[in-house]
Structure 1
Amino acid sequence: MEEHQKPLKQDNSLLLLSTSQLQQSFAQRGLSLKDHVALSGGHTLGFSHCSSFKNRIHNFNSTTDVDPSINPSFAASLKSTCPANNNAKNAGVPMDPSSTSFDNTYYKLIFQQKTLFSSDKALLDSPKTKNLAAKFASSEDTFTKAFIKSMIKMSSLTGGQEVRKNCKVVN
């Protein structure tokens, strides 16, 4: 596990896992690498609380405060919204600037180093996931079709799987 990653808690989402850990988690559920990358595109919608990404903008590791893989101006903006001593429970940011539109903006942001979670950045760590993310960044239609197919595949899973109302909490 990389130095900056924290152990995954049982009630936490997949936000802190490495690429190989994420791939293994998806594979154990019968989902392919393409499913993994396509379903990650769900991060184009919604809002994230500061607590979900604060590990990337405050006390990242023993030598740097901010994850060096984050675009510096984006990190500064996040730190402004989510200061180290933030006590506001509802503080946070949209997942992407088009957070109310289902589109491929998320994938474009990955290549600009403007994503919130380690799991988003991790899509660039492997040539296979990076190539899929590039394909989805260049074609919204390709992304949409892959997402639909993967979501249908995921919806057919059994064995305690659930769509969470809050990614960090089991329903």
Structure 2
Amino acid sequence: MTRVRVEVDGVTYEDDVEPRLLLVHYLRDRLGKVGTPIGCDTTNCGACTVLLDGVSVKSCSVLAVQADGRQVTTVEGLGIDGTLHPLQRAFHEEHALQCGFCTPGMIMAALDLLRENAAPSDEEIREGLEGNLCRCTGYQNIVRAVRRAAREMRTPAQEREVTS
């Protein structure tokens, strides 16, 4: 067993884990963070995407021991006091989900994209979400939701840069 100290959604956890335990299983089975689904277990679908120190990773490809001393953000850590994050709200309002299975991973990958590019084009959104698969929506509403959230999340200074 290996001792890890991980901050997940703003809360620090210390646990003994098997060295081969995947981060997705640690999040779900140990911490109860079931908002991070297990999709394919082979890094193909992206449903299990979380942020590790602010960068999106597929948690089925990261060992829990690799998260030692780091910050993990799950989709459950985005909203504050029952208020949806702009991406969560945009996915709801733009009907960017059907079954909802891919939604947590899509939102987390989009959040990483918007951290790097506050005003992405539709093509850049599609590239940023590459590796996150959806079997239901056809992606149009997902792109629309990310575009809407990007507008909401931009600061006035960023908005001026985009329009000038």
TM range (shorter): under 0.3
TM-score (norm 2): 0.26
Q: Which has the higher helix share?
A: 1
> Larger RCO: Structure 1 or Structure 2 (Cα < 8 Å, ≥ 6 residues apart)?
1
Q: Which has the higher strand share?
A: 2
TM-score (norm 1): 0.25
